[in-house]
Amino acid sequence: MVARKRTTLSMQAFRAAITNGSSLFTDHRLDERSSWARRFRDLIALHTIDLGGDENLSEAEKALVRRSSMLTLQLELMESRFAANDGEATAHQLKLYQTTSNTLRRLLESLGLQRRAKDITPPSVDAYLRGQRLEATE
């Protein structure tokens, strides 16, 4: 009798790559190592941190974070093109920039423009005092 290898499946195996965080995009042919993909990933992470971390976001908020991150990236790319052209932009480019900026502002207002404070209160007074002593000796 041949022994069978036991496989354990996690929920990650049943979820979409975007949902479980293993991919930025549904098209797996896209290179996620490109500079713009790295910046997109960074923006998502930074917005998520500002909103109190992934565990504090609803799925709707996560969707808004993705959209606002992409709009931020697109605005940055437009700004680079403007800079490469000595700051010049056509009327159409300026209208697109303005529309995108306003859409981004509305998304960020929906998420909350302020940073949410993360609770860093020590678990006890003793832990706080131990931390103070460690800082003083360094």
* pLDDT category of residue 105 using cuts at 50, 70 and 90: very high
pLDDT tens across 13-72, in order? 565 655 656 666 655 666 777 888 899 999 999 999 989 899 999 999 999 999 999 999
- Positive or negative, the CA dihedral 15, 20, 22, 25 is positive
Residues 6 or more apart whose CB falls under 8 angstroms from that of 64 comprise: 107, 110, 111
Average pLDDT over residues 115-127: 71
Average per-residue pLDDT in the chain? 81
Predicted model pTM: 0.65
- The whole-angstrom separation of Cα 129 and Cα 124 is 9
Name the percent of the chain lying above pLDDT 90: 51
Q: Are 131 and 122 in contact (CB under 8 A)?
A: yes
Name the percent of the chain lying above pLDDT 70: 67
pLDDT at 125: 79
